[in-house]
Amino acid sequence: MSPRRVAVLMGGASSEREVSLRSGQAVGAALEQAGYAVTLVDCSHDAAALIAALDAARPDVVFNALHGRFGEDGCVQGLLELMGLPYTHSGVGASAAAMDKAFARQLFQAAGLPVAEGRVVRRGEPAPLPRPYVVKPLNEGSSVGVHIVGLTSAEDPLRDWPFAGDRVLVEQFIPGRELTVAVMGDRALGVLEITSARGFYDYDAKYAPGGSCHVMPAPLPAEDYAKAGHLAVAAHQALGCRGVSRADLRYDDTRPGEAPRLVLLEVNTQPGMTATSLVPDIAAHAGLSFPDLVRWMVENAQCDE
């Protein structure tokens, strides 16, 4: 029996194109190692060209390795639904909800999950919070366009407005440690701590060689480690995610005399998928090799039509 055919979508035209190309190449190699017949599809915003490429490849399953707009926000998911092709990661609704940071935090709050104080600000409005605070574009990933405004920061992104849209999310800065949790199906695979000499896990810290260090498992008290996993699964479920996702959290252990607190930042429905990315790193510690991880994702791909 011949291997199942898998089309890997990668590239795209978002600000995360290069990251997606790396994810797609790594996923394709791992799927071939796992015994699948793989076609790599470098995507653009041309829906007709993507449909033609998929028609030519005739895949049984689509592995979505796209990041950013079009690939992560429900658009390509809707196209795949119309074509009746099972695909990895979350469906249309969960993808769109997670990509909209303001809407996602509303869903988290409705589910009783801890988020930082914050609100959406329009161009020209003053900061709604005292410093330090974080300014985030509403629909970007990989920390693209994120600004931390410290107590003595000279920059003022709300004044200079380097953003493409007319609205941004402003949230209280949560001190402490950076955690990320991989969720596979209905369980947390593990909690990883990220450290960076840059002081902020920005785009360069994520992807530049030596930009960050992964500490797996995160050195937390057992109770807090378990709580971080439960929180990530609850966020995954609050958005209606499926397959694999990754939740980013802050662990604030900086308050003398007070218990540490966990704060949910966001959920990434299309996490990086190179062999050394965060989710594969966590999965490896849980005893799941990269080929086994992507095989599970392919075997659990769905189409909601």
The residues assigned a catalytic role are 16, 142, 207, 246, 248, 266, 268, 272
Unique residue bearing structure tokens 């920005």: 202
**Integer CA distances (angstroms), 56 to 13, 53, 132, 165, 182, in order:** 21, 5, 52, 37, 34
Unique residue bearing structure tokens 């005292």: 130
Do residues 212 and 201 lie in contact, with contact meaning Cβ atoms separated by under 8 Å? yes
What is the C-alpha to C-alpha distance for residues 41 and 236, in angstroms, rounded to an integer? 28
Q: Which amino acid is at 80?
A: L
DSSP assigned state of 212: -
Other CB atoms within 10 Å distance of the CB of residue 39: 18
What is the C-alpha to C-alpha distance for residues 61 and 161, in angstroms, rounded to an integer? 41
CA-closest candidate to residue 27, choices 221, 274, 285, 284 = 274
Residue 5: half-sphere exposure toward Cβ, Cα within 13 Å: 11
3-state secondary structure labels for all residues of 42-85: EECCCHHHHHHHHHHHCCCEEEECCCCCCCCCCHHHHHHHHHCC
Backbone angles phi, psi at 262, to 5 degrees: -105, 135
Residues pairing with 302 in the sheet: 87
DSSP assigned state of 302: B
